[in-house]
Every structure is written in structure tokens, then in C-alpha cells.
Amino acid sequence: MLVKILSLFFLLMPFHASAQVFPVDALSGKIYYAEEVLVKDGPQFDLYNRAKAWFSSSVQNKKALQVDDLANGLIIGASYRVLLVREGHQAQKFRLWFTVKIEMEDDHYWYSITDFQLQEIQSTKEAGTKELKAAKVPLEELVLAKNEVALKGEKVIFHKSLESSAYDSIVALIKDFKKSML
């Protein structure tokens, strides 16, 4: 009997330990993704055009580009992705805002994704009305907190569901971006 219990414990342990881990900058305490990627036979001009095409096709915000510098191989832009956070039978929509910085040279590029902010989207019941948007809250305040966090009024979103949705969205964003840079 003890062997069965221990076997079950060790079998389930990897699932319990597989929580998402956000990389956090030690100095600022902010969530920060960054990587240098080598691209064989990737001239700066081609990498720049791929990055610009990714911004044009992937971001929700049409005014996303803040810096567009072909000569220095630099693109900086801010945009968002829509998250659907489910808790039981309820679902809440959020916008996950972020800033992407891409620096390019021949055969490699660096990207960083920073300044994550979450904005709750409140849908109204009436047809033809716009969605109401709450103030932006730094993602770190919500997913790095130890307890439940109330975003607005009495509506409480449990940080584990939010953490999972945000993490999955960021990983998908990075995967999509890196694929477009090949």
C-alpha cells in the first residue's frame, strides 16, 4: 500500500512542480524576456524587413512602432494580446500590453519583451456598445503576488489562472516572432 501511495506521489509531482516561471530582472523586479538569436545567412536588411513584417501582421495596435530605424537595425514597438482568463464557469477578457525591442546586425538579432501591463476589458450586455477598459496594472503586481488580487470592485481573479494565461500568451508571442525571423 505504501509503495502505491509513494508511486502516485512521484507520478503526480512533476505536474505540481510545472508551474510557470516568469523571468524577473534582479534590479528592477520586472518580468523581462530577452535573447540573442543567431541566423545563418541573415543580412541585417533582411532581418529588419522580417521584424517589420511581423509587427505589421501580428500586433493589434496600429500605432505600435515607436522606433523604426533601418540604418541602426532597431525597431521598438508596443502592443497587446487579448487574454481570456477562465476561473470555473466564468471567463474574463484582458489586454496584455508589452514593449518589444529588436536590434539587428548581420547574422543575428536580439529581442527583449518588457513593460508588461494588464488591462481588464469589461463587456457590456447591450448590443452595439463599446467594451469598457479599466486602468492598466503592471503584470508583476498580479502574477508575482502571493495572494488573490482584486482588479476592480469585488471581482477577484485568482492569480494562478491569470498567471497561466499570461505565460502561455507570452510564450506564443515569442514562438510566433522567432518563426517569422527565420
Express each pLDDT in 78-116 by its tens digit: 999 999 888 778 888 999 999 999 999 999 999 999 999
- Dihedral sign, CA of 136, 140, 142, 147? negative
5 in a structural domain: no
The pLDDT assigned to 31 comes to 94
Give CA torsion, residues 139, 141, 143, 146, to 10 deg. 180
169 in a structural domain: yes
Q: Which amino acid is residue 33, in one-letter code?
A: Y
pLDDT tens-digit series, residues 12-38: 444 444 456 889 998 988 999 999 999
Using alpha carbons, select from 49, 117, 113, 55 the residue that is nearest to residue 83. Answer: 117
Q: How far apart, in Å, are the Cα atoms of 86 and each of 54, 134, 162?
A: 29, 18, 8
57 in a structural domain: yes
4 in a structural domain: no
What backbone torsions phi and psi does residue 152 show, to the nearest 5 degrees?
-155, 130
Q: Does pLDDT of 59 surpass 90?
A: no
How many Cα neighbours within 13 Å face the side chain of 154?
0
Domain count along the chain: 1
CA 2 – CA 88 distance, rounded (Å): 34
Q: Which domain holds residue 116?
A: 23-180
14 in a structural domain: no
pTM, full prediction: 0.78
* CATH, residue 157: 3.30.530.80
Using alpha carbons, select from 34, 38, 175 the residue that is nearest to residue 99. Answer: 34
140 in a structural domain: yes
CA angle, residues 128, 132, 134, in degrees to nearest 5 = 175
8 in a structural domain: no
Beta-bridged to residue 83, according to DSSP, are 94
